[in-house]
Amino acid sequence: MSLSIIFFLFIGFVYLLKRHEKEQRVMIEKIMESFRTNREYKNIPENIKEKYRDLFKDLRKQKNELDSSIGELREYRSELEITYNALVTKSNQLKYSNQALEKRVANLSNLNALARTVLSVIELEKTVDIILDAYFVLTGAKRISLYLWENGELKRKRIKGNISYTGEVFYDIDDWKKFKREKFSKIYKSLSENFLLEEEETVIISPLVVKGKELGVIFVIEDKDKLIDLDEETISALVIQISIAINNAQIYADLLIKERISSELELASKMQKQIIPQDVKSVFGLDIANYFEPAKEIGGDYYDYYIHEAENLYVTMADVSGKGMPAAFLMAIARSILKTLSTRGIAPRQDLNALNKIIYPDIAEDMFITIMHCKFDYKTKILSYSNAGHNPIIVYRAKTDKIELHTVKGVAIGFIKDYRYNQSEIKLDQGDIVILYTDGITEAENKEKELFGIDRLKDIIYENRYETSENIRISLLERLIEFEKEHEQVDDLTFVIMKNIEG
């Protein structure tokens, strides 16, 4: 065989080998493609078909499992992302909450310190200044206006910041006392609408109320976009603090006034009791007993004695209209003037004429004085008397064994200018009894609003006609107490009992 033939045979073999390799390579690529695309390759040689199919099934199964795992991983990753985002949000919320909590704690600490401060301050003006300053420190307040009620008038007491609107209102005190919470809310709402506000501002209305007691209102002006829940909480807490502090300050101020008035009344009561004469048991053959008890600390009733030149006894019983300090003041003036007039030793009616002339120009229109002014002559046993609108004299006559009423007409002191008073007289015999009194006895009331009356008074005198003046006094007081049965004394109680024990 020639060399060329061998060469061509070699070349042909190589060609066949290369072609076979190419076909093998193409088939392998088709098989790999089937694995990658998960599509079964149909033209598999018989000798490897069974192994291919087993391998294809295994790979498909593994691919499905892998795809399932990848899906689960993706879901888990998505859940992780959601959880992470939630944690970031929670972390931010906790950070904000922690900041708010820290601010709340700080505010509570400040409010606690504020409470201790205002409770230690009892002046209203200082209390208001301290708490209004706290508004600016603890909240976003820009301007504040505080109003307080005084006898039905809502007065602006303090402002912080530039507020030109005053807006004070006034109501009749009796109507104001009947107002309900809704009425006060309407008043405050109406006032709030008159404040001049910037576009971004709002008014917070904070009524000041303690145990249903309406004290006033605070208007706080803030920026709308800066108003947060914490500010509202702080404002609410401050409102409670300032309400209690203002109420305490007002109570303390009222207490100081009451203590001052009480002290003054106590002093006035002592002075009044000092000018009421000491008990005169017996003078010029008269057995005497008396009693004085004002309805209040001081009263407008009075009785008085004056001995002139060792033979005349002046006895006066008077009742000034009204009660309390004004009545006591007028009583003291009238007593001093009349006692001075009695030193002249003239007739009782002349004393009353002079007293009325002196007092009339200066006495208030709604005040007056009723007086029974008497003069007992020791030598003649004659009791002369003049009456300025007072109760009649009660006289027990021993000879006739009867009770009599004696009086003359006359208006109260201070009613008519230059009025001329009348006069009458009574001759006292041995055993006769005379009683001068104010209407605190006859108008004494019991719980049923029944009056003691003059008849009961006359009966007591008659029943005790043989007793001493002191025993008559005791019996009269016992009967009064029994009649009133602990009912409050409504008027001054004053009387003088005189019994003639000489013939």
Compute the Cα dihedral for 262, 267, 273, 278 and give only its sign: positive
Same domain for 369 and 253? no
Q: How do residues 52-87 score in pLDDT, each as one tens digit?
A: 777 777 777 777 777 777 777 788 778 777 877 776
Mean pLDDT of the chain: 80
- What pLDDT score does 372 carry? 96
Q: What integer pLDDT is reported at residue 1 of this predicted model? A: 46
64 and 168 together in one domain: no
Give the separation between CA 290 and CA 307, rounded to whole angstroms: 17
Beta bridge partners of 304: 316
Q: Write down the pLDDT at residue 10.
A: 47
Residues 419, 321 share a domain: yes
pLDDT for residue 102: 52
Note the pLDDT of residue 159: 84
Domain assignment present for 96 = no
Do 392 and 250 lie in a common domain? no
- Choosing from 258, 289, 321, the residue where a domain stops is 258
Segments of the chain scoring below 50 in pLDDT: 1-2, 6-7, 10, 13-14, 101, 105
The pLDDT of residue 202 is 87
Residue 356: helix, strand or coil by DSSP?
A: helix
Overall residue count recorded for the chain in this entry? 503
Q: Three-class SS of residue 406?
A: strand
* Model pLDDT, residue 19: 58
Q: Are residues 129 and 208 in the same domain?
A: yes
Residues 16 and 68 in one domain: yes
121-147 in b/e form (b: 16+ CB < 10 A) is bbebeebbebbbebbeebbbbbbbbbb
**Which residues lie closer than 8 Å to 357 by C-beta, 6 or more apart?**
417, 418
Identify the pLDDT of residue 346. Answer: 92
Does residue 390 fall inside a structural domain? yes
112 within some domain: no
Range of the domain at 384: 278-500
126 shares its domain with 9: no
User: Do 206 and 351 lie in a common domain?
Assistant: no
Domain assignment of residue 90, yes or no: no
